[in-house]
Amino acid sequence: MREAFSLDKKDAMTNSKRDIPFKGSKKLRTGRRSIPGQIYLLTTTTFERKPIFENHQAAEIVLNSLKYLNEEGRISLEAAVVMPDHVHMVADLVRGTLGELMQRFKGFTARSINKVLNREGPVWNKQYHDHGVRKDEVLLDVIRYCLHNPVRAGLVKDFHEYPHWYCRYHV
């Protein structure tokens, strides 16, 4: 018979019973692998989910930075969408690790955005979510999921109307 899963107050903080990391825990990064040649769906959010990318210049900095990382040969960018408070990208990791990629991306964009918007302070949350696209998943479906985010959020009726997206393919 299967044991029921429950978290009491003690477990909610430490999760010692099940060794399940809680949100914000460094244990979330345990086991994270950076595999060159692996395609990832990566998502990262702004600090305190502030809608920084409602500003056109800020959103363009993010999109152009991803294109630059592609040209530099760190990633092969398949698709990306810059939402008001987060970014989704589908990319093939060409060299380096996910951590290095995200640190370079976030560091450069944060400095540039703060300068353009004449602001100080963090732009990004420290964490990011990565999903290695499995062989049984269809890449085009993952790309469509990424690009249709503005439609699901109710910002546009067709993602082609949204100004801050990129896709290597005609979709």
Q: What is the pLDDT of residues 120-149, one digit of tens each?
A: 999 999 999 999 998 878 899 999 999 999
Position 171 scores a pLDDT of 78
Position 57 scores a pLDDT of 98
Mean pLDDT computed over 12-29: 44
Position 11 scores a pLDDT of 38
If we measure between CA atoms, which residue out of 66, 81, 74, 65 comes closest to residue 34?
A: 74
Q: Is residue 97 predicted with pLDDT exceeding 80?
A: yes
Position 34 scores a pLDDT of 86
Percent of residues, the chain, with pLDDT higher than 70: 81
Model confidence, pTM: 0.81
Position 19 scores a pLDDT of 47
Mean pLDDT computed over 62-91: 97
Q: Is residue 4 predicted with pLDDT exceeding 50?
A: no
Position 5 scores a pLDDT of 33
Q: What's the rounded Cα separation, in Å, for the pair 23 and 149?
A: 23
Instruction: Return the SS3 of 87.
Output: strand
Instruction: Return the SS3 of 90.
Output: strand
Position 32 scores a pLDDT of 62
CATH fold, domain 35-165, is: Alpha-Beta Plaits (3.30.70)
Q: Is residue 69 predicted with pLDDT exceeding 50?
A: yes
Q: Taking the CB of residue 107, how many other CB atoms lie within 10 A of it?
A: 12
Q: Which two tokens stand for residue 166?
A: 């990129």
Q: What's the rounded Cα separation, in Å, for the pair 6 and 34?
A: 32
